[in-house]
Amino acid sequence: MIDKLADADEPISLEPMNKFPIVRDLIVDRSRLFNDLKRVKAWIPIDGTYELGPGPSLTQREQERLYPLSRCTGCGCCLEACPQYTQTNKFVGAAVISQARLFNAHPVGAN
Ligand code: SF4
């Protein structure tokens, strides 16, 4: 990666994401994203106070269908690119919607 950056023909600017409040330098506060995940209940509190058990089995086909949704890391890049997601509105954006879809499609979320 460093070699590729050094070989770049044009200057590369590093800027903080502009959809989240800046904490310092390139650090932003993405707590809105995590609060929105909690708001739509796309969040499982794991505090060790109760036995979660093995959970229901998924067929191979269900696993393959849901796996892409489970890969969201909460990076916020989709929100950064989305013109509908702003610092002043309440739209939750693609990351939260995809996690709501994942939880609604999963047998645990269906109960
Ligand atoms: S859905 Fe959005 S937040 Fe999740 S990994 Fe993709 S770009 Fe990042």
Where residue 67 sits, what CATH number does that domain have? 1.10.1060.10
Encode pLDDT of 30-82 as tens digits.
999 999 999 998 877 778 887 878 888 899 999 999 999 999 999 999 999 99
Flag whether 52 is in a domain: no
The reported pTM is: 0.80
Q: In a mutational test of the pocket of ligand 1, which residue from 69, 75, 97 has the highest number of ligand atoms less than 8 Å from its CB?
A: 75
What total of structural domains would you count in the chain? 1
Helices (H), the chain: 2-6, 31-39, 60-70, 77-81, 93-105, 107-110
Domain range holding 96? 22-43+58-110
Ligand 1 nearest-atom number relative to CA 77: 7
Query: Cβ distance 70 to 105 under 8 Å?
Result: no
Ligand 1 centroid, distance to 103 Cα (angstroms): 16
Identify the weakest region by mean pLDDT among 16-20, 72-76, 105-109: 105-109
Residue 21 pLDDT grade (very low, low, confident, very high; cuts 50, 70, 90): very high
Percentage above 90 pLDDT, the chain? 63
Flag whether 49 is in a domain: no
- Asked whether 81 lines ligand 1 (CB < 6 A), one says no
